[in-house]
Each structure stands twice: as C-alpha cells, then as structure tokens.
Amino acid sequence: MFEVNDCRFEVQGRCLLEASDLRFEEGKVYGLIGHNGSGKSTLLKLLARQQCASCGEICLNGRAVDHWGPREFARNVAYLPQHLPSAASLTVRELVTFGRYPWHGLLGRMSKQDKAQIDRAMTLTDTTEFAERMVDTLSGGERQRVWLAMLLAQGSRFLLLDEPLSALDIAHQVDTLSLIRNLCRDLGIGVIIVLHDVNMVSRYCDQLVALRDGRLLAQGTPDELMNDATLEAIYGIRMNVMPHPTDHRPIAVVQ
C-alpha cells in the first residue's frame, strides 16, 4: 500500500502539490485526473521517488519511501515517465531485459528465473512475435506494449504510468488500457495512471483521484465522482453526465 500523509511539494517557495490521506492499494487501477498543471505528474514523481516531498511523508508498506534502498524500491515500484528515453539501438528483447536490473545488476548474469520473467512479460503483453526487431521500427501502440513488458519484467507490485496514451490513436488507447486493466486483475498489481480523457478513466479505472491547482479535490469511484457538479469543480467547465449505452458506466460530454 502507498500512503500519502500531509505531503507538500514546493519549488522556490511556490506550492505545486499539497495532498493528505491518500491511499493506493494493490489490485486496483487508480486514475489521476485534472487539468494541466493540477499536480498529477508531480504526485506520480513523488510516489516514484523522482522528486522528494518538501514536507510530510509518503510510505510504501508502512515504511517511508526514502528509507528504501534503490533496488529494493525498484522491486516493488516501476515507473514509466511521460517522455520516454530513446531505445533506438535496442531490440525489443534487450529493452525488456533492462526490467530485470533490480534483481541481478547491470553486469550480472541472467538466471533462468530472469529469463522466465522476461518471456512471461512478453507473452502477457503480446510482444514475443517481434522480440528481435529494433524498438524504433515499431508502431506507437507496439512500442507502448514493449515498455509495459519491461515494467512487468521488473516484477514490481505497483506500476506508475504518466500519460502512457499521449502518442496513441483511439484504437491503441483502448488496447493499452484494456491490457493494463487485465494485468491488474490477473496479477493483483496496483496501477496508478495519469490520464486526460475522463471517459477512458471512468471505463478502465477502479478509483479516481482528482487534483486541481496542486490540491487534492476528491477521491472515489467513477460512480461517485462522475457527476455534473464534481466534474465542473475539477475542470472548470460544464459537462453533462449520462450512462454508457453498453455497460452503464458514467460518461461525460461538454455542454
């Protein structure tokens, strides 16, 4: 479990995030929502130890995150940033293999367990068929699955994903979110994901965490947060909420 207690993040005296009493559990998909600059990516970076809180405490399994060793933390938490590093010179299998670094070290020899975890991650993400292709020859949707395979190879209990759909068309967005939700359910891992499409969040996430101007506005299920008043408070525009014609999940349209 992740716990955020009286957490505050400041840069040059300006508060970029203030959040308290947040809980993230394994086995659920959490969607971070809010307008640009609301603090979504900042919260994700704090959870991933990419930034340090100015005050307050973030705990993983009851222990402050800054008390974990780097490899020990990476065995529990995997982070995918919004802007991915270049992998142009790597094959798909080589990139996925990097996910095993927390377990054997950069120069360590691969064990049978490492290789089995890599194969499993590629099977789960349906990337085995292009294992020997160069990463930069893949489509956007294929590359996204490869990066997810790398995170799965890491064997972590939490996946932190910052806008993983930003470069994908609608078909690949649906495929990626369906994969993430199924992995969460099948493996029992926790997923915390930054998304902009509130209807995608409603359809694929178990819990929503709404931020506005660097502050926690609300947390709850899609049914609890997807209403006209709450969405206007989050985004500052009027929306009409109605049930989806197929599964009756709430969806919103701008007035």
CA separation for the pair 84, 175 (Å, rounded): 19
At residue 181, the pLDDT reads 93
Backbone phi and psi for residue 91, each to the nearest 5 degrees, phi listed first? -80, 165
Specify the DSSP element, H or E, that contains 246.
none
Q: Is residue 16 domain-resident?
A: yes
Tell me, yes or no, whether 91 and 201 share the same domain.
no
Residue 232 lies in a domain: no
Compute the average pLDDT of residues 236-249. 88
pTM metric for this prediction: 0.92
Q: Is residue 234 part of a domain?
A: no
List pLDDT tens digits, range 168-179.
788 888 888 998
Residues 221, 225, 226, 227, Cα dihedral to 10°: 140
Is the same domain home to 22 and 146?
Answer: no
Q: Are residues 14 and 117 in the same domain?
A: no
59 in a structural domain = yes
Task: Say if residues 166 and 82 touch (Cβ distance below 8 Å).
Answer: yes
Total domain count, the chain: 2
Q: Is residue 110 domain-resident?
A: yes
Residues 40 and 72 in one domain: yes
Q: How far apart (Å, rounded) are the C-alpha atoms in residues 38 and 29?
A: 20
Q: Are residues 37 and 65 in the same domain?
A: yes
Same domain, 66 and 11: yes
Three-state DSSP state, 54: coil
- Average pLDDT for 238-251: 89
Q: Within this chain, do residues 34 and 131 fall inside the same structural domain, yes or no?
A: no
Q: What is the pLDDT of residues 17-47, one digit of tens each?
A: 988 889 999 999 999 999 888 999 999 999 9
Residue 124 and residue 147 share a domain: yes
In a domain, 201, yes or no: yes
- Measure the CA–CA gap between 17 and 19, rounded to whole angstroms: 7
pLDDT for residue 206: 95
- Same domain as 71, residue 162: yes
* 160 and 142 within one domain: no
In a domain, 58, yes or no: yes
In the chain, % helix, strand, coil (3-state, to 5) comes to 40, 25, 35
Question: Which DSSP string do the residues of 28-46 spell out, in sequence order?
Answer: -EEEEE-STTSSHHHHHHH
Summarised one tens digit per residue, pLDDT across range 191-225 is 999 998 999 999 999 999 999 998 999 999 999 99
Residue 133: domain span: 85-155
| pLDDT for the residue numbered 107 | 63
Q: Are strands 14-19 and 63-64 parallel, antiparallel or unpaired?
A: unpaired
> How far is residue 58's CA from residue 132's CA, in Å, rounded to a whole number?
40
Q: How many beta carbons lie within 10 A of that of residue 78, not counting itself?
A: 23
* 149 burial level (CB within 10 Å; 0-12, 13-18, 19+): buried
Output 167 or 12, whichever has higher pLDDT: 12
Statement to judge: residues 51 and 139 lie in one domain: no
Residue for token pair 């991915």: 84
Is 231 contained in some domain? no
Tell me: pLDDT of 142 over 90: no
CATH number at residue 66: 3.40.50.300
Whether residues 68 and 104 fall in one domain: no
pLDDT in tens, 51-108: 988 899 999 999 999 999 999 999 999 999 988 877 878 999 999 999 998 887 656 6
